[in-house]
Amino acid sequence: MYIKDMINVIPVTHARRDLLRLVDKIDRDYTRIDITKGGKVKATLVSPDYLDSLEETIYSLKYSLKDIKKAEKEIAKGKYVTLEELRKDLKKRIKNAR
């Protein structure tokens, strides 16, 4: 899903002509620019920070997905602790530790 205000779509001929301006825009506005050829998006310009953020998110999800699926199954089976139950347990443990 795209956020319309963050995306600019331009033909490759315009990108070629305005490349320096586009690079400055991407750096300044933390945006992306989709470049079309023949009416279809063929490339996207993004800032290095944005790309790093995407790669970090992908990495995190890749290594968390197994745990997320396990947790979803446990929740469906009713195997979870509510926040209120957790608070009561922590109070009890603190009291017993004194």
The model's pLDDT over 61-97, given as tens digits with 9 standing for 90+, comes to 888 989 999 999 999 999 999 999 999 999 999 999 9
Q: What is the pLDDT of residue 7?
A: 63
What CATH class is the domain 4-46?
Answer: alpha beta
Mean pLDDT of 2-15: 74
- Helix then strand count (H, E) for the chain reads 4, 3
Rounded CA separation 36/11 (Å): 5
- Count of CB atoms situated within 10 Å of the CB of 50: 15
For 11-38, the pLDDT digits (tens) are 999 999 999 999 999 999 888 999 999 9
Q: Where are the domains of the chain?
A: 4-46, 50-97
Q: In sequence order, which residues have a C-beta less than 8 Å from that of residue 23 and are 6 or more positions away?
A: 45
